[in-house]
Every structure is written in structure tokens, then in C-alpha cells.
Amino acid sequence: MSFYEGFDKERAAQIAPAIRMMLGKNGFSIKTVATEKSYDLSGSKAVTVKGFDDIDAQYDAILKAVGEYNEKNGEMPEYVAVENLAVFAAGATKAEADARADKLLGGKGEYTPSNCYRRIADKIIIVTGSAQGFGQGIAEELLKQGAAVVIADLNFELAEKNCRILAEKYGSNVMPAKVDVTSEESTKELLIDTVLEFGGIDAYVNNAGIAKAGSLEEMTLQTLEFTNKVNYNAYFLGAKYASRTMKIQHRFDKDYYADIIQVNSKSGLEGSNKNFAYAGSKFGGIGLTQSFALELVEYNIKVNSVCPGNFFEGPLWSDPEKGLFVQYLNAGKIPGAKTVEDVKKAYESKVPMNRGCWPVDVARAIMYCMEQQYETGQAIPVTGGQVMLK
């Protein structure tokens, strides 16, 4: 995504989600088009609004113009132009919004509508740490169910590669984004870029995380602090900036619900031997979930954690050099284990359902969080019975 030098991305990202709610509520998409040239909107279903420095005055002007257009024409406009800022192309789906943006830029503006029912069709979802492992699998499962997904990861090259593969399967509803979840500026940019591409955000899935095993004697303060930075601090940053956009959407549709969902762990529900850095950060994450839930409930923003069991096939566990099987073998976490396979068998035997947790299991829990409207502040086990709530 590229914009002209001096374009006020942050201001546009405040306006797009407001227009999204004014025109179509849930499942609606807005594509932001901003270049230095002017567009001829005559003959289009469009409204043009004067630009204001004060954001409340800007909202009032857009709301008035959209209302007058609707009253006169019996339908909503397809374009909203804010002078000296941008044109916002609207559509019932991202494909339709993209087509109208393309037409504005001189293209054909063609798209094929889909009437296929899927659980979370056209919901806009960011999944952090989704270029590989659990996150990659979760992102694909959400795309299968019709969501528009941002593949957000520090490894942008891998995110781009995966997006190309996923786009061939599921269409244009997927975007790569580079993010360092430990950086406030990078997290803020992720949310702005998402809004300018899709028009808003319906769910922020805080999946990125790290695990560093070790005993009290082996663990260093540096490793402990970095674990907390990724697993705990980053959750705060994501919730802070995702909720800003969600609050704007709620302002213009009081019946609108949004979600912040932390992918936690079974280690956030019970202690983990010689793995206290990870478990402690995940316990803390559930404290954030409960606290964020209380603060954001007035905006219909639900905040929940899902707590998966072990994804044995993913790189977190199975990487031959840095995976947890290797770490736990070296840390002596499983008494008598002499090989990585010994460690794996010991962990599989702990699960009543006799298998590890798969991405589809977690994706279904995430979709449950989004679909229901009467639960917030919860930590939902997805552990095959290995950890049960008391």
C-alpha cells in the first residue's frame, strides 16, 4: 500500500471506520484511495464533504451528507470524498470496495459477488504471528469461513509468500503486514494500514508469542524480560490500538460488536515446570483479558482468551534446533527422557483425546468468541481435556 508524501494516514484511519458504520455496519468494507490528483465523481453515487481539522466536526459533516444523500436517493452513496484528504470507496464486501476503487483509478471495476454462507463472512481480522505455526493455520481457517485476514508478522517475506498462496485459494481478502508486536509505533502502523485497506477491524487476534524454557538457575533476566515483552506487553499494545478503531465503529452503530482475542495457552491456566517465564507471561495475559473486558464492555468490545494445548506439529514444538521438544529434553523436564521422541510421547500421553491441539481447534474457539454476544473476560480451554476448568 503506497500513498503520496504528506498523506495523513492517521486521520484517514479515523474516518474510514466511521464511514463503514454509517453506510453498512458489519460486513461492510471501505477502501481508501489517496493520491495528489483530483477525481471526477460526477455521475457516480458519491458525496463530497469539506475537510475539517476537528474530528467531531468532520464526523458531523459526513453524517449529514450521507443522510441527505440517502433521503434524496433512497440508497447509500458508493463513494465519500473528504476534500484535501481521500476518497473512500465502499462495498458490501472487500471485493466490491476494491472494484469501486479500481474504477475510480481508471480500471474496469469488475468483481464477482459471492452468496456462499460462511460463519464470519467479510469480518476483518488481524492475526499476529501468522506467517507460520499456529497463527498460519488459524489465519487459513478464518479465511475458509469468509473472513478478510491480515497476516501480520515480523517475517514479512514469509507473510507475503503465504498471502500469495492463500489469495489463490480464497481471493483478495488477505493482506500481508510487517509488524514488530513489541514496538508501539509498529503496532499503531499495523492498525492504520489495516483500516486504510479494509475500512475497519472486527477482531484482533493476539497470537504472536514466544516460549523459552529453563529452570530458575538457567533462566536469565534478559530472557525473562524479552518473554514478557512479546507475550504480555505486546498484548497491551494490540488491545490499545485495536480498541481505538473499534470505539469509532461503536460510536456510529451502538449495536455493533467487536472482539479482542488473545491466543493464550494451557500454561496460562496452570503452572508449568521449568517453564515459568512462559507460564508467568500467560497468567498475566489472562489478567489483562479480564481487565480489558471490564473497561471495554461499554463499547460492545468483547475481550477473551483462548488457551490451546500443544500444537506438536508446529515449529514452536518440532523445530529440530529451537523447538520445545529439544528445549525440554535439554532442560530435563521429562525424567528419564533420552530423545526428542521420548519427550513427544510423554506429552501426547497427557492428553485424554490422545492428540495435540490443531489450528482448526483454536480457530473454532475464536469464531465462537466472535459469534456469541454474551461472554467476555473468559479464558477458554482448548486442550483436549488435558486442563479442565475448576
Q: Which residues are catalytic?
A: 278
Task: State the first-to-last Cα distance of the chain, in angstroms, to the nearest integer.
Answer: 48
Cell numbers standing for residue 213: 524454557
- The SS3 call for residue 308 is strand
Could you tell me where the DSSP H helices lie in the chain?
9-23, 55-73, 94-104, 133-144, 156-170, 184-198, 221-228, 234-252, 276-296, 315-318, 324-331, 340-348, 359-371
Cell numbers standing for residue 204: 484482533
Backbone angles phi, psi at 22, to 5 degrees: -60, -40
CA distances from 274 to 4, 97, 280, 308, 378 (A): 51, 51, 11, 19, 26
> How far apart (Å, rounded) are the C-alpha atoms in residues 385 and 390?
12
User: Could you tell me how far CA 142 lies from the centroid of its own chain?
Assistant: 11
Neighbours of 115 (CB within 10 A): 5
- The 10 Å CB-count burial string (b at 16+, else e) for 196-211 is bbbbbbbbbbbbbbeb
CA distances from 311 to 134, 314, 318, 360 (A): 7, 6, 9, 11
Cell numbers standing for residue 328: 525440554
DSSP label of 229: I
**Residue 30 contacts residue 20 (beta carbons within 8 Å):** yes
What's the burial of 322, exposed, middle or buried (CB within 10 Å: 0-12/13-18/19+)? Answer: exposed
**Residue 148 contacts residue 121 (beta carbons within 8 Å):** no
Q: What is the CA radius of gyration of the chain?
A: 22
